[in-house]
Amino acid sequence: MTKIQVSLHDGTIITTEVESYNAEEMESKMNDPKLLAIRVGNAVINKNVIKLIVPVIAAE
């Protein structure tokens, strides 16, 4: 599992986990005009409010 942080335009940060993180897949979903919301882990988010999606890298 990969931990993901989703930052929204209002300053909210959502942390969730996904099986695997693929930036190209997320980009494709974000740019698909047919989709209003996308699923990121266990969260469904209106893609218009998303500012940034990044994997969380654990400090070693």
Q: What is the pLDDT of residues 32-59, one digit of tens each?
A: 999 999 999 899 999 999 999 999 986 6
Report the run of H or E that residue 26 belongs to, with start and end: helix 23-30
The pLDDT of residue 60: 59
Give the model's confidence band at 11: pLDDT under 50 very low, under 70 low, under 90 confident, else very high. Answer: very high
Nearest-angstrom CA–CA distance, 39 and 16 = 10
Mean pLDDT of 17-41: 92
Phi and psi at residue 25, in whole multiples of 5°? -65, -40
Residue 1 has pLDDT above 90, yes or no: no
What is the set of domains in the chain, with CATH numbers?
2-55 (2.30.30)
